[in-house]
């Protein structure tokens, strides 16, 4: 890695694969000889239409998305999806069941309440500071719920669903913003999968939504036009001017993942990185991970020392060593190492070496 580049452990926006950045840099001023940058390109141009089509095709390829699922790139990130999903799916009973396993799942629930839907928390680990993932069965779900919402990976608390809930005939909606493309997923287990791209895919500004086709086209006629999935499906994600650059980088990341062996190979690397870091923390009597072992995230490793002053010192000294953004979320403190797909194993090795040094000097 270049001496000018740090290991960026930010929870998002986060690191991008270096080969992708280098390719984007090489084509920034003149995209593949067309005479324009993607930053300047018309979203109606033949060049960008090809970029958009290739991005969708590549995502379908690496995620094995069936033909009866639609893929759209939508502006506004995950926050817009908190409103968009209920407006499109909660159209029969208006009832939505939520598993609240972290702050983002709670925000999705609160948004549904704010909009007047009959939202119910059917399971939550909030009383234990979201250090574990609730287990639900079909018996926990209201039989007339329009859908069940989960957040598959919780960036703030370092947890991840170790199972896919069985919701029967009721659609399961999953926010996969911080773990998409890190593990092979059976898309058919879900009604909707959506993800803000700024953690594991591309620069911030858009979300990807993967929607089973029978869930498209049911929104009330009076909702805002932009918030109707059908509009984006029919207009090929270009109803208005999309975030062309983020879509372009997304497509390049999808192609990069395919080039290294697909999501299976990416998962193998992610498991190896996370195991190395968790094993070190668990063997230490100085650092501690508060998350129940079976529910630990591959993407976001949280750990504490137990002394706030020492933790602040750790974060500051780590940054001076080129290990950036290791502070825990402001609501929980401690430290958090986000080791998304683009974090090389060398970054984890460097973090562990710093942790050894810091412990020796401060214990």
Contact between 176 and 119 (Cβ < 8 Å): no
Q: What is the rounded CA–CA span in Å between residue 87 and residue 188? A: 22
User: How, if at all, do strands 95-100 and 147-151 pair?
Assistant: parallel
Active site residue 199: yes
Active site residue 166: no
Active site residue 104: yes
Q: Among 199, 270, 273, 295, which one carries the catalytic annotation?
A: 199
Q: Among 175, 228, 270, 295, which one carries the catalytic annotation?
A: 175
* CA atoms within 13 Å, Cβ hemisphere of 351: 30
Q: In a 3-state reduction of DSSP, which class is residue 282?
A: helix
Q: Among 104, 228, 255, 270, which one carries the catalytic annotation?
A: 104
Q: What is the rounded CA–CA span in Å between residue 187 and residue 148? A: 15
Residue 6: CB atoms within 10 Å: 18
Q: What angle do CA 83, 89, 91 make, to 5 degrees?
A: 105
Non-local CB neighbours of 201 within 8 Å, separated by 6+ positions: 180, 181, 195, 208, 249, 250, 253
Which residues are annotated as catalytic?
104, 175, 199
């Amino acid at each position: 890695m270049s001496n000018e580049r740090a290991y960026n452990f930010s929870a998002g926006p986060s690191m991008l694969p270096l080969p992708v950045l280098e390719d984007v840099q090489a084509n920034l001023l003149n995209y593949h000889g067309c005479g324009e940058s993607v930053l300047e390109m018309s979203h109606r141009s033949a060049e960008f239409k090809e970029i958009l089509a290739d991005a969708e095709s590549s995502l379908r390829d690496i995620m094995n998305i069936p033909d009866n699922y639609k893929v759209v790139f939508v502006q506004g990130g995950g926050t817009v999806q908190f409103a968009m999903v209920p407006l499109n799916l909660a159209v029969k009973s208006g009832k939505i069941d939520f598993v609240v396993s972290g702050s983002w799942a709670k925000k999705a629930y609160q948004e549904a309440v704010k909009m007047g839907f009959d939202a119910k928390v059917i399971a939550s680990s909030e009383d234990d500071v979201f250090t574990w993932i609730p287990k639900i069965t079909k018996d926990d779900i209201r039989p007339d719920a329009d859908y069940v919402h989960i957040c598959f990976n919780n960036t703030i608390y370092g947890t991840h669903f170790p199972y896919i809930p069985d919701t029967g005939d009721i659609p399961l909606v999953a926010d996969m913003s911080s773990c998409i493309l890190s593990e092979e997923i059976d898309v058919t287990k879900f009604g909707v999968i959506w993800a803000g791209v700024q953690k594991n895919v591309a620069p911030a500004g858009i979300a990807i939504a993967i929607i089973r086709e029978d869930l498209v086209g049911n929104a009330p006629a009076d909702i805002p036009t932009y918030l109707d999935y059908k509009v984006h499906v029919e207009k090929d994600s270009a109803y208005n001017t999309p975030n062309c650059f983020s879509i372009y980088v997304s497509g390049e990341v999808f192609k990069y993942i395919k080039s290294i062996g697909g999501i299976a190979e990416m998962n193998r690397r992610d498991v190896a990185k996370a195991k190395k870091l968790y094993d070190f923390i668990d063997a230490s009597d100085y650092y501690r991970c508060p998350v129940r072992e079976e529910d630990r995230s591959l993407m976001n490793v949280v750990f504490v020392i137990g002394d706030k002053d020492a933790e602040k010192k750790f974060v500051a000294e780590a940054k001076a060593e080129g290990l950036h953004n290791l502070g825990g979320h402001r609501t929980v403190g401690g430290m958090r190492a986000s080791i998304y797909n683009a974090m090389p194993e060398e970054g984890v090795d460097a973090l562990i070496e710093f942790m050894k040094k810091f412990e020796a000097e401060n214990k």
